Each structure stands twice: as C-alpha cells, then as structure tokens.
Amino acid sequence: MQWETVIGLEVHVQLSTQSKIFSGSRNAFGAEPNTQASLIDLGMPGVLPVLNQDAVHKAIKFGLGINAEIAPRSVFARKNYFYPDLPKGYQISQYELPIVGKGFVDITLEDGTVKRIGVTRAHLEEDAGKSLHEDFHGQSGIDLNRAGTPLLEIVSEPDMRSAEEAVAYLKAIHSIIRYLDISDGNMAEGSMRCDCNVSVRLKGEEKFGTRREVKNVNSFRFVEKAINVEAQWQIDELESGRKIQQCTVLYDSAKNETRAMRSKEEANDYRYFPDPDLLPVEITENMINTMRATLPELPAQKIERFMGELELSEYDARVLAADRAVADYFEQVVKESGAKPKQAANWVSGDLLGALNKNDLSIEQSPVSAAQLAGLIKRIVDNTISGKIAKQVFEELWSNGGTADSIIESKGLKQETDTGAIEAIVDQVIASSPDQVAQYLAADEIKRKKLIGYFVGQIMKLSKGKANPQLVNDILAKKLI
Amino acid sequence: MHDKTLNGLADALATRQVSSVELTRHFLDRIKRFDPQLNSFITVTEAQALEQAAAADTARAAGKAGRLTGVPIAHKDIFCTTGVKTSCGSKMLDNFIAPYNATVVEKMNSAGLVMLGKTNMDEFAMGSSNESSFYGPVKNPWNTAYVPGGSSGGSAAAVAARLAPAATGTDTGGSIRQPASLSGITGLKPTYGRVSRWGMIAFASSLDQAGPMAQTAEDAALLLNVMAGFDERDSTSTNIEVPDYTATLNNSLEGLRIGLPKEFFGAGLDAGVEKCVQDAIREYEKLGAKIVEISLPNTHLSIPAYYVIAPAEASSNLSRFDGVRFGYRCKSPDNLEDLYKRSRGEGFGDEVKRRILIGTYALSAGYYDAYYLKAQKVRRLIKNDFDAAFAKVDVIMGPTAPHAGFKLGEKAANPVSMYLSDIYTISVNMAGLPGLSLPAGRADGLPVGLQIIGNYFDEARLLNVAHRYQQVTDWHTQLPAAFA
Amino acid sequence: MALELKDVAKIAHLARLQVTDAEIPAVTQRLSTILELIEQLQAAPTDGIEPMAHPTDAVQRLRPDVVTETDRRNDYQRIAPAVEDGLYLVPKVIE
C-alpha cells in the first residue's frame, strides 16, 4: 500500500519585546525563578491586563512578511483550563478573530521545486510558566517567569506531505522571524516551539486521516525525526487493522518514539469567550502602512537580488540569504573587501560557515568579524597574498584574532612578486629536474598542462608558498621551450 | 460628630473643631460599641487608621490638607489594601494579605482619607442580602432581624449606623444601589469605565463598577471626585475628564425630563415601595421636572441574561483561586486534581460554587451559542432600550428594589427569589449606565430607595437631581434610633 | 432544560470543584431552577442583533513596551501556601 503523510504545523514564536504582553515585567530568558513574575503574571486577585503595543506591531510585521491579511479588528479570548503553570486558570489568547489572517510561505524543496504552504492564521497570546519536575519531596516546582511572554502562534494549513517539507517550512518561518527581528528564534531556549499535526492516508485518498498532535518539538532535526517516526507508527497501526485515536503525543528523542501524554487526556473543553478585561484591538490602515515602511528586505527578495545584481548561483544565494545575520555579514564583506561577490560568497558560505558549523557557533558568535574577513579578502584581491596563504591567515584570525595585515606582516606571508627572484627559483627547479623537463618537452598540449603542475609545486615549495602563482606560470611558460 | 455628613466633617476638620485623630477615635469607638450587633466590618484597621489620622493632622497643620484630608471612611473588603487582609468575604481569601493597593484605595489615601477598616460583603460580591459572607451575615441597622441588602451590605450598614461617615462599594448587578436602598443611604454606581477596576477583586469584569456609599448625594459627589478617573492599568477605564461633581449639585431641575419605565411599576412591586417612589416623583414635579412615560421592553430579560453573563465571567475570573500562589489550600492534597478540587470546594461557599457551575455550563461546548452568545445579544437589546429612552428623557426613575428589606434567611432557600430582588438594578449594569439610589421613605418601618438612572457619564446630573431632592426632604438625615 | 446528574459531575470537574456524590442531587436541583430562569432567554427575538461583550464601544489601548516592574518575589511569596527555592510547590505534575 502507498501511504501519504499529511502534516500541519503550529509554531509558537516568543516575541522579543522588552516587557511582557500584558504586564510591565521584563521579558528575558534565564532569570532566577519567579523574579520576573509581577502581580499580573501571577494572576493576583484584582489585577488587569493592558496590551503591549510592540507585541501588536511585531504581529503585524509577521503578517506582512507572509503576505497575510491583517485583521482591522481582532479580539482576545480566554482559554480556560487548570494547570499549575497557568496562573489565572485561563490563557489570554485569540480565538474567533485573530490578528493575522490567511497568508503563505514559499519553500524550496531539494529538487529545486518551489511549493507554497498556506498559513491559516497567526494569533497573539501569552505564554505559560514552567513546571520543574526535579524532586521537591515528591512535588513539582512552578516558575512563572515565562508566564505572560508574548507569543505568536502560527498555524499552517495541512499542506505538507513529508518531514522534509515540514522542516523546510519551519526553516522558512524561522528565517522570516529573524529577518523581521520579531524573535530570536532560539529553539533550544524555547523561543520557537513546534507542534506537529500528523496523519496518514492512502495515496489518492481525498479525506484526511485521523491526526495526532506531536507536542513541543524543539529542534529542526527532532521535527524531522518525530514526524517520520509518528507517521510510520500510524502506518503500522493502520496496516495492522487498528484505528488511530486523535490525541496529543510527546516525542522522546532518546528513544526516538512518540507516546500519548498521560495528563490532559480528557476531552478538553476550553470554554473560550471574549476576555472582558480587554477591548477589541483596532488596527488602522495607517498603522499597517507605518509597519510596512519598517519592513526589511525579506529572504525571497534577497535571494532574487543576490542572483540578479550580485550574479550568485541560486545555491549560494539561498545559503547566504537563509539567515539575516549571515546575509548582512556577507554584504559587509563584499562592500569592504572590494572582491567579486562570488569570491566573497565562497569565503562566507565555505570557510566561515564551515568553521562555525564545525564549532557549533552562530554567526553572532563568530570569532572572525565581517570586517576582519573583508580585510583578508582585500589582500587576495590586491595580490598581496595567494588564496592558499589566505587560508592560513584565516586560521590565524580564527584562533588568535588580529587583522589580516598584521598577520601577513608578522609571519612574512607577503607574496613574492619580484620577477628576478622568482626567475632564480624557476631556473633552480628546471636545472634540478632534467627528466621532467625532457618529458614535458616531448608531450603534447594536453599532457603538458598536467605536467606543468610538478614544476609549479616545486617552485611554490621552495618559495614557501609566497611566489605569485601568475608570475610563476608566466615565467615557466617562457623558460620551458 | 457622627451625625455629621462627610461634607460636615470636612468642614469641622477645616475649621479645627476636631482633629482627624479625635474623629477617627470616635468612629473606631462606635465600631467597637455597635458593630457586634451589625457585623458590618471584617477587619478594623485601628493602628493604621490612627497613623493615617495623625499624618492627616500633620498635613493640615502644614497647610497641605485637601478637602477630605483626615476624614475617616471604610472600604468594602473587595478592594486590595497593602498589608491588610482582603478577604472578599470568602474563606478562600481569609489568609490573603494583599501585596498592593487598589487604585480606588490609592486615590483615597492620596486624598488623605483615613481607612477605618474593611467592610463585610457577600462572598465574592455574589448575593443581595449579605448572607453569603464567610464572616456571617450583616444586620440591617433599622431592624437587625432584617438583611441590609448586598453585596455591599457591610458598607451600607456601617454608613446607615454611622459607624463610618461613608464607604466604598462595588456594583455588578445592584450591589451598591440595592443595599443603599434597603439600609437607607445614598449609593452611586458610576458609568462602567468611570472608576478604575485595578485592585478590585473581579466578579464579572464587564459589569463590575466601584462607587461611593454615603449619607447624601453631596457626600457621594465629594467621594466620586476622588474615586473617578482614567487609570492606565485598567484597559476598560475611560479617558474622559472628571468634572467637579460638587459644582453642579444645585443646578435647577426646571424642565428636567424624568422617564418612568412602565416595566418598573408592574407586578412584583411592593405597594409600600411604590407609594414612596410616587411621592418622590411628586416632589420632583414640584421642583419643576416633567414626567414622561417610557418603556424598557426588555427589562424582564435582564435577569436571565445577567445570570448567564455574570456567572460565565465569574467562572473564569475565579479560576485563579487554586491553592497554588495565594489563598486557601486544602490539607495534604493527594495529587494535583485533589489540590484543585478540595481547595476550591472547601474555600468557596455554596452560592459562589453555584455560580461557577452555572457559568462553566453556559460556556461549555454545545451550550455557548444558546446561552452566552444569546445573553450577549439580549444585552444589546437592553442597551438599545435605554438608548431609545434617553433620546426622550434626561433621567429615568423608579424603585431601586421591588421591596424593602427582607428577613434574614427569608430567601436563603431559593436562590432565584433572591435574584429577582435585583430586577430594577441589573439592566443598568448590563447597559453600563450610571445609577443612584437615595432614601425616599419607609415601608413597614424599613427604608425604601428611589433609583435614578442617567445617561453615560452623566453622574453629575444624577448627583444634582438627588441633591435637590435631599434639599427638600429629610429621609437621608434620619438614622436608626438604636445607633444614635 | 433539565440538568442531569452526570452533567453536574462533568461541569464540576471542568471547574475543579469538589462536589461529593451525596451533594450532587441537591446541587443539580438548584442549578436546574436557575437554568429554568435562564431559559426565558430563548424566547427573545435576537436575529441580526450584534452580541455585546462590553458596555462601551471603545477599542483596546496599547501600552508602550517598557519594563516597569521590579523583582518583588519575596513580597509575593510571603502569602503563598508552599514555596521552596523561589518556586511555588504543587503535587507532582504528570505529563
């Protein structure tokens, strides 16, 4: 039987505001427990919420970023349920009238095809606190610092058909929120969290199968694994003649399996109703236009410009535009080095990103700044050093800092461009390699191209890599006749 | 001194006939002497009151006194008061020492008023007789076998017996006006949004409003001057300038158009009450007012709609009382569910639980449209009735409650019969309008209130209309003999 | 509409209110009386009527994104039933 997996994602993004969505508490990760929980966050008797303007602005920006309708009037509703990390016994969320309506995100699949994924809606809500399960004499500890952190919940259409598509969509959302600077998107710290709705059906079937929701998957890799393992589990169940029960499951990354949650298993009845403490949010055309004017160039536009104006390959353009910080880094390198964009692209996407990945660092944590890298490439462009020596300088910059110029100077890496000095070395190599010279002279054009490598290698070795390769080639060509 | 109004006491302080400390002691002594008969206070803050009074005297000596500096008052125990128990009449909050002040309390403190204590109330303001308090019922000073009304029954009884010159109250479906009526004082529920709800423990957020409970309309105006105003901590607070409510008290009533809704004078209205109201209306005619018969055709729907909307909001508002961060927690819970169910089951009284259950039911899947949404539509019908009426009249008058005080325990067995005692007040909260009750006579020896309903933010006119009546009558100056 | 015993048990659970089996019949009876009162709503003609959630037509005011709160954990936890290491304690939460 041919099965097809159907996936929809609910992505929760913590907005990077200074204060919380309904209170003036600091919105920051990692503080001592409950030191960022104010009267409002604690749900004390008599307190009232007031909506943070910046949370609204960030939601509007996101809406514009995914080509969505922004609701002129949206309403906050209470979602009622009891849980110790939910201080008021209800979460302030949006239900019938979310702030962001239908939009879409285009993703590019491995074979290069572009697929459009629908976004059903995105709404503002408050985050809950955290239950810590370390043992407090058989009890759990509750930290409400996170309670009231502004969240944007982004709900996709069930448009994805594989874990790869889901990851591509999630990466596209990640890229957009980072570009818009509305969240740091840090999945490890929970700034971006993902619930995956997964179902399977026979290929060709129009009706969706019963879905199970995989809660709170916290990395791109786990999203891929969780969806695959969940889809396979469902296929196995169906093939064994069992039915899928709609429920919420957790992904256990250690065992690479999904399992139904024990709590919250009762059919939830959230009793949504408009929050009487908050009035309808009105968003004017004027406010939308103001926000539109602040929008940066988004990934799709950037890729287009990199391919057009900068003549990069599509692959390079995508790699460099995926993250706003990487793209900014790259553009600074191009500007300051005076190099051709392709050359700068090779350094950034190859050497730099390679080293960052190897060391598990983000671009913000890079030991080599864009200015430092530009300083290095500048010296390749003006022939002060060769590309090969440049790699050596890069390693030095990475480990010990400094500038390319100071490293070139102190290590004496400056390229040899004195024709006389290079001629002397060329003569020395020709003189000590009579057999190779004879072989070379007897060979045809095609073979000669291969054989000349030997001479270049020897010359570079003797010059400690500093001889200008172009000059070496020119002189060799003249002498080997 | 206790026979003086708030305004009179302010004069006495200003002319140094008495110090704030002396005045405060006087009222504290009266509370000690009389409150055992009434049970109108949950907490008396003697030490703090004397400190505030001394500070008020110092301020006055330094020439920094305002109109009400040094005047004692009482706060309904629904307003959070820093460092003082704020119980909301519930076992749930019997141990709750509020860590902050309500805006109303903050404003009163800033104006130099002295807090005598926190008054008794129906649990979480749910009730019309003050019998649902965890701290026991409050007695009506006019006859202690009777209820004082509710839910601000403690404030009403304390002012009626002059244990405090004035008090704060809150009104969700009549909780200022109905006890003001039954206890023979003047009480004003302002327009929704006029007074900040910050720090006022929520019952039904879209209906709750705080207001003054006083001897006279003039006193109520003085207090509203302090209480009213925009508060950036309350999203539902309205940013409209606060007039000086005392400035227009003496405006002429010549040509005032008074609407009498025929629905307020039908079946269920006690004959004694009706007579008092008719007499009051004749006084107004003498003052130059014109009577216009009007109709508020959806009045009968206000109670059923209210008993969906208020419990629905309450069921959610009261979810925060879970035994985790403050308030009552049951002994040795077996697990999380046990913690919730027993803390709430043991911490809340019967009426509160009933309303939480009704509200939960009305919002639950499958019933939302039939109950909650339907009630919200009916709410619009009720508001539309008032809008149409105010196109024709300046104020609306009628009885505050269908009867004078009833006996303790009389309606306890049947919650619905209790609910019906708010028939004339509830629609005002549904529409969000201001309403005032003032003493307008007695039926079988018990006070009867006249209700005056105004258009949005027309509190100044309500107070003016009430004040002019009080210039020509003396119901408001009478106090029960036992507390003279 | 008559309320059944099992409805009351269900809503009591949703509301996390302990209502013992012995109490349920009496509670059900009282709630039914209140529901009868509420049923009057059904006769109201409300076609085309916009639901009214707030007494005023105002729209939500937006607060500038500024941190105004400081750490007052000690004040707030002084009134808590059970705390340790700055955390509120509850019976074990099971996921």
Residue C36 maps to which CATH number?
Answer: 1.10.20
Q: What is the mean pLDDT of residues B169-196?
A: 98
Range of the domain at C12: 5-43
- Residue C63 resides in a domain: no
Reply yes or no on whether the pLDDT at B24 is more than 50.
Answer: yes
Pair (A107, A174) in one structural domain: yes
**C48 is a domain residue:** no
Q: Which residue has the tokens 């535009």?
A: A321
Can you tell me the distance from the alpha carbon of A297 to that of B99, in angstroms, rounded to the nearest whole number? 48
Residue A452: per-residue pLDDT: 84
Summarize the confidence of residues B79-94 as an average pLDDT. Answer: 98
Q: According to the model, what pLDDT value does residue A305 have?
A: 95
Calculate how close chain A gets to B472, using CA atoms only, in Å.
Answer: 40
Class assignment of domain B6-256+392-483?
A: alpha beta
Q: Does C54 touch chain B (CB under 8 A)?
A: yes
pLDDT above 90: residue A453: no
Q: Which of A366, A383, A411 is the last residue of a domain?
A: A411
pLDDT, average across residues C20-38: 93
SS3 B157: helix
In a 10 Å sphere around its CB, with 0-12 CB exposed, 13-18 middle and 19+ buried, how is residue A308 labelled?
exposed
**Contact between B232 and C52 using a beta-carbon 8 Å cutoff:** no
Q: What's the rounded Cα separation, in Å, for the pair A471 and A420?
A: 11
Both A84 and A214 in a single domain? yes
Residue % of chain B over a pLDDT of 70: 100
Task: Output the six-digit token pair for A40.
Answer: 């409002």
Touching subunits for chain C (3+ Cβ pairs under 8 A): A, B
Please answer whether residues B175 and B212 qualify as being in contact, where contact means their C-beta atoms are separated by less than 8 angstroms: no
pLDDT per position as a tens digit, A214-229: 998 989 999 999 999 9
Q: How confident is the model at residue B392 (pLDDT cuts 50, 70, 90)?
A: very high
A234 with A211, same domain? yes
As a whole number, mean pLDDT of residues A36-44 equals 98
B443-463 tens-digit pLDDT: 999 999 999 999 999 999 999
**Testing the interface with A: which of C61, C67, C75, C79 to mutate, by most A Cβ within 10 A?**
C67
A394 and A423 share one domain: no
In this predicted structure, what is the pLDDT of residue B233?
Answer: 98
Average pLDDT over residues B203-232: 98
* Domain stop point among A290, A309, A331: A290
B473 CB near a chain C CB, below 8 Å?
A: no
Contact B114, B49 (CB under 8 A): yes
> What pLDDT shows up at residue B383?
98
Mean of pLDDT values over A177-187: 95
How many domains does chain C fold into?
A: 1
Does A21 share its domain with A84? yes
| pLDDT at residue A265 tops 70 | no
Mean local confidence (pLDDT), B35-63: 98
Residue in A49, A50, A87 nearest the CB of B320: A87
Q: Is the pLDDT of residue A263 over 80?
A: no
Nearest to A43 among B197, B234, B320 (CB): B320
Q: How far is C66 from chain B (nearest CA, A)?
A: 13
Residue A69 reports pLDDT greater than 80: yes
Residue of chain B nearest A79, judged by CA positions:
B316
What is the enclosing helix (H) or strand (E) of A200? strand A192-202
The residue among A411, A440, A455 that closes a domain is: A411
Q: Quick one: A450 and A386 in the same domain? A: no
Say if residue A195 is in the same domain as residue A139: yes
Residue A451's domain spans which residues?
419-479
- For residues B454 and B256, what is the distance between their CA atoms, to the nearest angstrom? 12
Indicate yes or no: CB of B205 within 8 angstroms of CB of A47: no
**Nearest-CA distance B171 → chain C (Å):** 14
Shortest CB distance from A140 goes to which of C56, C71, C92? C92
Q: Domains in chain A: how many in total?
A: 3
Verify that A390 and A473 share a domain, yes or no: no
Closest Cα in chain A to B78: A46
- Max avg pLDDT among A90-94, A306-310, A316-320, A373-377: A90-94
pLDDT over 70 (residue A267): no
A18 contacts on C by Cβ (under 8 Å): 65-67
Please tell me whether residues A343 and A475 are part of one structural domain.
no
Residue contact A33–C85, C-beta within 8 A: yes
Q: Does B298 touch chain C (CB under 8 A)?
A: yes
CA-CA distances (angstroms) from residue B97 to A39, B40, B197, B349?
13, 20, 19, 20
At residue A264 the predicted structure's pLDDT band, cuts being 50, 70 and 90, is: low
Kindly report the backbone phi and psi dihedral angles of residue B440, in degrees, each rounded to the nearest multiple of 5, phi listed first. Answer: -135, 30
Question: Hey, how many other C-beta atoms are within 10 angstroms of the C-beta on A372?
Answer: 20
In degrees, rounded to 5, the angle at the alpha carbon of residue B189 between the alpha carbons of residues B184 and B191 is 160
Q: What is the greatest pairwise CA distance in chain C?
A: 58
